[in-house]
């Protein structure tokens, strides 16, 4: 493949982008740097974008990631999840072999990073999962000019427009006000989405205690320890059914379909996900109150970001690659899907039906 760099001149180095980063069975491999990005199998040296379990797996020799991503891996896998670890700050430059890497905020979840890989005159940005929408629980997405931009495509279809998350929170609060005798049970992925929903509720002025399913306690407390204020939180376990009337509880998607929900008085079931834009999907999952809140960029976010990076070449991965590849080509950009497998298991990239969750 030939390409142009962001100054719109042909590459003047003999290094082609695919010599720098190459999709292989284990993930994205950087041969000249001697590492993999978000490898799905154990490797000698892994550079990890964020803490979701499909990107951050145990068993690597060395792991380079942000302090928060390392903290989340430690919570999930225990202290010996890797041979060694190195915490990398946003903006810090690290030389690995013949390349330099630099982490930039991805705006996806706490500690999430895009990895810029530079070799001679070529810069490739592997953005991992990202969103350009505001999120009070993590550093905002940073635009990184580059020659090749690797983008996710979880919501890579024009039908996906997430709108304003604050409006969805207003819907939830209106329902709580309307049904004071019922409990509100909000399904949200345990890492990132749950804490964002809580922070959005607080920003909207809701100051009552918020109840949590036990499975999301540790990660939520970790967010608080990293300085994300979430107000008063209580575990739902042991609380009397009658006392849950008029309250809001957050639970992982798996919990809402089992016997667990019987402890709530006449619960209104809500689900916070970008997939809630698809009404059939909400109906199928028995979701009474769909909340379109996503931690991934929507169609407008994806296309605006691609354009703004100035990249002449775009690699599209995990999700709905075809429409985005087509869009790039109509803009005169070189584009191709990357056939990476093993992603989209934990958060909204999850293609399985509502009611299943990788966490529990």
Kindly list the residues in this chain that would bind Zn ion in the complex (CB under 5 A): 52, 129, 347
Q: Are 54 and 76 in contact (CB under 8 A)?
A: no
Looking at the Cβ atoms of 106 and 306, the one nearer to Zn ion is 106
N-term to C-term CA, the chain: 43
Looking at the Cβ atoms of 11 and 271, the one nearer to Zn ion is 271
Lookup result for tokens 């002449």:
312
Q: Are 284 and 118 in contact (CB under 8 A)?
A: no
**Distance from C-alpha of 354 to C-alpha of 255, rounded to nearest angstrom:** 11
Looking at the Cβ atoms of 168 and 347, the one nearer to Zn ion is 347
Looking at the Cβ atoms of 52 and 60, the one nearer to Zn ion is 52
What is the edge-to-edge ordering of all strands in the sheet holding 99-105?
Answer: 93-96, 99-105, 113-119, 122-126, 148-153, 313-319, 334-337
Q: At its nearest, how many Å lie between Zn ion and the CB of residue 56?
A: 9
Q: At its nearest, how many Å lie between Zn ion and the CB of residue 342?
A: 13
Rounded to 10°, the helix 299-309/321-330 angle is 40
> Whose CA is closest to 45, among 53, 54, 36?
36
Q: At its nearest, how many Å lie between Zn ion and the CB of residue 112?
A: 7
Q: At its nearest, how many Å lie between Zn ion and the CB of residue 22?
A: 22
Looking at the Cβ atoms of 133 and 185, the one nearer to Zn ion is 133
Q: At its nearest, how many Å lie between Zn ion and the CB of residue 108?
A: 6
Q: At its nearest, how many Å lie between Zn ion and the CB of residue 350?
A: 10
Q: At its nearest, how many Å lie between Zn ion and the CB of residue 70?
A: 16
Looking at the Cβ atoms of 109 and 328, the one nearer to Zn ion is 109
Strand, coil or helix: 83: strand
Lookup result for tokens 């191709």:
336
> Whose CA is closest to 137, among 295, 274, 9?
295
Q: At its nearest, how many Å lie between Zn ion and the CB of residue 20?
A: 24
Q: Characterize the bridge pairing of strands 122-126 and 233-235.
A: unpaired
Q: At its nearest, how many Å lie between Zn ion and the CB of residue 271?
A: 17
Looking at the Cβ atoms of 118 and 317, the one nearer to Zn ion is 317
Cβ neighbours of residue 181 closer than 8 Å, sequence gap 6 or more: 245, 246, 265, 266
Strand, coil or helix: 321: helix
Looking at the Cβ atoms of 129 and 359, the one nearer to Zn ion is 129
Looking at the Cβ atoms of 185 and 276, the one nearer to Zn ion is 276
Strand, coil or helix: 187: strand
Q: At its nearest, how many Å lie between Zn ion and the CB of residue 315?
A: 18
Looking at the Cβ atoms of 131 and 182, the one nearer to Zn ion is 131
Instruction: Identify each DSSP E strand in the chain by its residue range.
Output: 22-24, 27-30, 35-37, 45-47, 60-65, 82-87, 93-96, 99-105, 113-119, 122-126, 148-153, 184-187, 210-212, 233-235, 248-251, 268-272, 289-291, 313-319, 334-337
């Amino acid at each position: 493949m030939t390409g142009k760099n962001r100054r719109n001149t042909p590459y003047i180095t003999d290094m082609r982008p695919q010599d720098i980063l190459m999709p292989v069975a284990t993930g994205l491999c950087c041969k000249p740097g001697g590492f993999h990005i978000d490898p799905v199998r154990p490797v000698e040296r892994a550079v990890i974008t964020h803490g979701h379990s499909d990107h951050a797996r145990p068993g690597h020799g060395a792991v380079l990631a942000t302090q928060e991503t390392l903290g989340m891996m430690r919570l999930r896998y225990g202290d010996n999840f890797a041979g060694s670890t190195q915490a990398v700050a946003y903006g810090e430059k690290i030389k690995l072999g013949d390349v330099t890497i630099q982490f930039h905020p991805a705006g996806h979840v706490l500690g999430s990073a895009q990895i810029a890989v530079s070799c001679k005159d070529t810069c490739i940005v592997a953005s991992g999962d990202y969103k350009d929408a505001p999120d009070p629980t993590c550093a905002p997405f940073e635009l990184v000019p580059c020659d090749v931009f690797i983008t996710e495509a979880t919501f890579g279809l024009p039908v996906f427009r997430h709108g304003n998350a604050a409006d969805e929170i207003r819907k939830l609060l209106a329902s709580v006000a309307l049904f004071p005798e019922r409990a509100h049970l909000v399904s949200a992925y345990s890492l990132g989405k749950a804490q964002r929903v809580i922070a959005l509720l607080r920003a909207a002025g809701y100051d009552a205690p918020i109840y949590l399913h036990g499975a999301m306690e540790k990660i939520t407390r970790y967010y608080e320890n990293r300085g994300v204020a979430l107000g008063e939180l209580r575990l739902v376990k042991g609380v009397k059914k009658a006392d849950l009337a008029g309250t809001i509880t957050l639970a992982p998607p798996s919990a809402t379909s089992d016997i667990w929900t019987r402890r709530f008085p006449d619960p209104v079931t809500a689900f916070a996900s970008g997939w809630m834009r698809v009404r059939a999907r909400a109906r199928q999952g028995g979701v009474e109150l769909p909340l379109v809140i996503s931690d991934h960029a929507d169609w407008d976010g994806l296309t605006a970001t691609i354009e703004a990076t100035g990249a002449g070449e775009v690699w599209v991965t995990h999700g709905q690659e075809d429409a985005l590849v087509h869009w790039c080509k109509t803009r005169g950009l070189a584009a191709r899907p990357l056939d990476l497998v093993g992603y989209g298991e934990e958060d909204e990239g999850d293609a399985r039906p509502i009611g299943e969750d990788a966490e529990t």
